[in-house]
Structure 1
Amino acid sequence: MSEQSSLYIKIEIKKEKLELFLQDKPAPLSIDENVRSWWESREMYSPIDLATVPQHQLHYPHAHNRAIVDGFLADERMGAWQDYNDAQQTWTFVALQFSENFLEILPMLSFLQQLAAYQSGEEKGTAVIYDFLWGDDSVMVQLDFSGGRAQLTSSSTQSEMDAEIFSEASKCLQHLLDETSKKYDD
């Protein structure tokens, strides 16, 4: 059985644009050459053709994006946290136990594609789904936000990730893990 990979998102986005995104209805994943290339580069136990994935599995079935975020935050098993830094105009969202397979993450890719469209051209960011908790070197997804787009990278191991991004994601997830552990130690 696979173990849950962790999710780390940190993007530059104006607070008003983030609010508009959170009010918007989830959109299906746009399967372009970047998504197809990434999908075909992943090592899967039972590979499937991306074209055969039903449309309803390409986005979250919620009325709006805020319901997605709120659902993750409410699920204690997931260990999720978010923060908006007004000074830096950055939104950070993390989940310690996010997903264990590639089909489960397709709706998140849709979420991230849609989120990127709310950024201005100069705003940047990153999103990573990787094995933070269990000691494996694997990376399911790394996206770079730039120019109002979320581009999937070819990184499939932590050593292939940008060292600064990996360090920042790991520090943030470790902090969340430490804070979560304190709740249960008391």
Structure 2
Amino acid sequence: MAEPCQLYLKVSITRPRLEAFLSREADSAACFRDLEQWLDGNHHRRGGLTWAELCELGQGTTAAAWVAGWSQHLRSPAWNHYDETTQTWSLGVLEFTESRDWILGSINVLRRIADFKDLPGTDYLLIYEYLFGKGSVVAAVELTPGASRILEEQPPPRLTAEADRMMNSLLRAMDVTATYAVQRIFDTDTHKRRC
């Protein structure tokens, strides 16, 4: 089983526009031509599905539904916060599945916030490996008012540093049961101690 990766999003946006984004159903991802190029850059991401089938991932769902699902995770916390002072929305998911369907679906749904972004500046959606991959980027999307693009280059170092701080806070807040604590020790132990 693949280890979970992490999702981080931080966007400058007014609350009314954020609410409009959260409640809007995502359309087909076919409008994002860079998504097809990103998939073609790593053939295992397609997994035998056609472009049309991949475009359906996330279609018909809302960002609010995705956020609610992450927020209701029984064991691992998620961060969903709007700062009224800075007019910034932050989202962090500590245990985001590494499934191709979830990654593509979330990119399709969440990058659409750029269409609602009404405050200046460049923001980012980052899916990366903090717990097990030591910073390896799965996908990074640049978000500007009215436009988004999947980065071909590495995201700015400050982005990964911000994401790391959030993931560290979520890790400290995690509800760790005894069974899960044993599993975590086993997963991260380089000597593979026997339980």
- With structure 1 as the length reference, what TM-score do the two structures score? 0.82
Q: Is the 8 A contact 2:26 2:109 kept in 1?
A: yes
Are 1:13 and 2:13 matched, yes or no? Answer: yes
Please name the residue that 1:166 is paired with. Answer: 160
CA shift, 1:77, in A, is: 4.1
Equivalent residue letter for 1:12: S
Q: Name 1:115's counterpart in structure 2.
A: 113
How far apart are 1:45 and its partner, in Å?
A: 7.5
User: What is aligned with 2:145?
Assistant: 147
- Are the aligned partners of 1:42 and 1:140 in contact in 2 as well (CA < 8 Å)? no
Task: Assess if the C-alpha contact under 8 Å between 1:39 and 1:50 holds in 2.
Answer: no
Question: 2:64 aligns to what?
Answer: 66
Mapped contact 2:39–2:46 kept (Cα < 8 A): no
TM-aligned CA deviation for residue 61 of structure 1: 5.0
In structure 2, C-alpha distance between the alignment counterparts of 1:92 and 1:108, rounded to whole Å: 15
SS at match of 1:22: helix
Q: Any stretches of 5+ residues in structure 2 without a counterpart?
A: 179-195
Q: Which residue number in structure 2 is paired with residue 33 of structure 1?
A: 33
Q: SS state of the match for residue 130, structure 2?
A: coil
SS in 2 for 1:87: coil
Structure 1 residue 43, shift from structure 2 partner? 6.1
Percentage of pairs with the same residue: 22
Please list every run of 5 or more consecutive structure 1 residues that lacks an aligned counterpart in the other structure: none
Mean Cα displacement is larger for which, 86-95 or 114-123? 114-123
Change (3 A) 1:146 1:50: farther
- Relative to structure 1, is the Cα distance of residues 111 and 98 closer, same or farther in structure 2, using a 3 angstrom cutoff? same
Moved more, 104-113 or 83-92: 104-113
> What secondary structure does 2:29 align onto?
coil
Rounded Cα–Cα distance in structure 1 between residues aligned with 2:32 and 2:64:
25
Provide the C-alpha distance between the structure 1 equivalents of 2:146 and 2:53, rounded to a whole number of angstroms: 26
Q: Is the 8 A contact 1:30 1:110 kept in 2?
A: no
Match of 1:180 in 2: 174
Backbone CA RMSD of aligned residues:
2.5
Distance 1:50 1:82 in 2: 33
Deviation at 1:50, TM superposition (A): 4.9
State the SS of the aligned residue for 2:92.
Answer: strand
Q: Deviations over 1:104-157 (max 9, x none)?
A: 2111111123211101262431111111111344211101111322210124xx
The within-5 A match list for 1:16-95 is 16-42=16-42, 44=44, 47-48=47-48, 50-53=50-53, 56=56, 58-59=57-58, 61-62=60-61, 64-95=62-93
Aligned length: 178
Is the Cα contact below 8 Å between 2:6 and 2:93 reproduced in 1? yes
Structure whose CA Rg is larger: 2
- Displacement of 1:179 after TM fit? 1.7
